[in-house]
Structure 1
């Protein structure tokens, strides 16, 4: 067994929670979230833009460059996947060394999505200069056969509406998402990013972008959906995700309608489960999700490190 394998096995009880699919109660096939995650961690650093950096005291930092984000924000950015270690005694020193490593490479900003169960790592990162940007609730719906019967008139957004949807996203931000809550980004940058994300969704980044299609209802909301995650643990069964939903003041009440229709369409496509993420502060959407049959699957914290 290699050193990396031994470190992964040593932290397997906590690393399991790094898989977004660990909360699935059952899969119709033999897919294993842990086995998929373990394979991903072992291969980290073997593909472009991914790295497995080792500190002097034997801690391994698995991280990746973020080329798209770096170009968009005009500053080199990265994402920390996790840290592998066998003892937390010198972990803080290793974290400080990792920050120096990032700085030497010219990286200006790095994020990490850490499950609440990895309290040891969360505490050490906080002690090492990382700051909390967002706390996320990961919801999952695994019972798409029993949805509320009400249906609503929606349609697929068309390419000519991309600028309109981008404007809707940019003018209706959530102040608690990771971009708006992180002082590294200006409010203007965060709003522009949301607008660009919505535009990309219409242009093919997402499989469907649904908007209201009722007479007299203005276009002031949308929901972007992918019905098959690229890293889904189950090859035989589609696992979808709500990528982005925005509801403007002219479409009050459409959050529930759009989400319900996305679930119905997922069921019609034979999707096994749908994931959806929100912030702990977004009580309105939490209420909607629970009414529609979502259940809480995981809690994670987004931390960030940055330098001037």
Structure 2
């Protein structure tokens, strides 16, 4: 752990907020991903390499693929060749336990592990940028009419989620999932967000018309005491280009005000590194780049598995 301390810090989703101390972030990370969790131990010449794998029951049931997430990797000072060999052992372990899909989100700073996983057969499917804002400083000259989404909005928002496809998000970019399955996942996600999976789903308040756009967010209040600072996250958005052009920026602005009203001091969100229009929007509202992560995945027998789930 001590050898990995500096790099593990970048696994914290809040590492770019300077007001937050390192210790509580590492403590939350350790509790969530490492402490008391089973792991695969692989011996290297320098010592044990520990792969912390979590079986994801919901993902397994939804996609019909036995799914695991690689939550963390602890290893001593090793060479690339030694770490790559340990990662090959991980890949064999995944085959032994019948895993059909394994993924992880890894910060760009963890370059040695990225290279070792690539040698072992993991592939890049998405590069994410994180933007953030100090909400105490947020101000926009215009306000826009928004409201919380209700169950009555579900069909419209699911349609928006399905049709406004982003070919570079994790689910659309990974060939293990068909485009249709990825579309349906996002439609399910917004449905469950309305039902309480998200703390809030904001939509345009256009009386007599379908919303045609949405933005979800989680307050993350359960983390505020440990962090010592209220931090919220905007999660998923989609906007119908035909009927709600320009509403993405309006929703981001209004969500910024909403999260501040809920007590959050900071807000952050992720997007793909290919989403250039979004960068411009966020930066025009005062959001700043915080960090870069990659999504890697491993799926044995890709073509055979995909044919079974399309």
TM-score (norm 1): 0.90
Rate the CA distance shift 1:21–1:44 in 2: closer, same or farther, 3 A.
Answer: farther
Give the counterpart of 1:260 among 229, 247, 253.
253
Listed as ranges, the matches of 1:113-124 within 5 Å are: 113-124=105-116
Give the counterpart of 1:305 among 295, 298, 304.
298
Counterparts of 1:299 and 1:185, CA distance in 2: 24
Rate the CA distance shift 1:234–1:189 in 2: closer, same or farther, 3 A.
Answer: same
Map of 1:219 onto structure 2: 211
CA displacement at 1:302 relative to structure 2: 0.4
Counterparts of 2:105 and 2:92, CA distance in 1: 20
Counterparts of 2:29 and 2:22, CA distance in 1: 15
Counterparts of 1:31 and 1:148, CA distance in 2: 34
CA displacement at 1:170 relative to structure 2: 0.9
CA displacement at 1:156 relative to structure 2: 0.7
Task: Report the secondary structure of 1:11's partner residue.
Answer: helix
Listed as ranges, the matches of 1:1-308 within 5 Å are: 8-27=1-20, 32-45=24-37, 51-57=38-44, 58-86=48-76, 87-88=78-79, 89-214=81-206, 218-228=210-220, 230-231=222-223, 234=226, 236-249=228-241, 250-308=243-301
Task: Report the secondary structure of 2:137's partner residue.
Answer: coil
Counterparts of 2:34 and 2:185, CA distance in 1: 32
CA contact (8 A) 1:142 1:273 kept: yes
CA contact (8 A) 1:180 1:187 kept: yes
Counterparts of 2:15 and 2:263, CA distance in 1: 21
CA displacement at 1:20 relative to structure 2: 0.8
CA displacement at 1:237 relative to structure 2: 3.7
Rate the CA distance shift 1:144–1:284 in 2: closer, same or farther, 3 A.
Answer: farther
CA displacement at 1:219 relative to structure 2: 2.0
Task: Report the secondary structure of 1:90's partner residue.
Answer: helix
Q: Number of matched residues?
A: 295
CA contact (8 A) 2:43 2:86 kept: yes
CA contact (8 A) 1:229 1:241 kept: no
TM-score (norm 2): 0.90
Residue ranges of structure 1 left out of the alignment (5+ in a row): 1-7, 46-50
Counterparts of 2:277 and 2:12, CA distance in 1: 26
Map of 2:307 onto structure 1: none
CA contact (8 A) 1:22 1:34 kept: no
CA displacement at 1:268 relative to structure 2: 1.3
CA displacement at 1:69 relative to structure 2: 0.7
CA displacement at 1:154 relative to structure 2: 0.5
C-alpha distance after superposition, 1:209-231 (max 9, x if no partner): 11111357642110111122655
CA displacement at 1:38 relative to structure 2: 3.7
CA contact (8 A) 1:210 1:224 kept: yes
C-alpha distance after superposition, 1:71-104 (max 9, x if no partner): 0001100111222111134111111111111111
Residue ranges of structure 2 left out of the alignment (5+ in a row): 302-310
Rate the CA distance shift 1:151–1:135 in 2: closer, same or farther, 3 A.
Answer: same
CA contact (8 A) 1:206 1:225 kept: yes
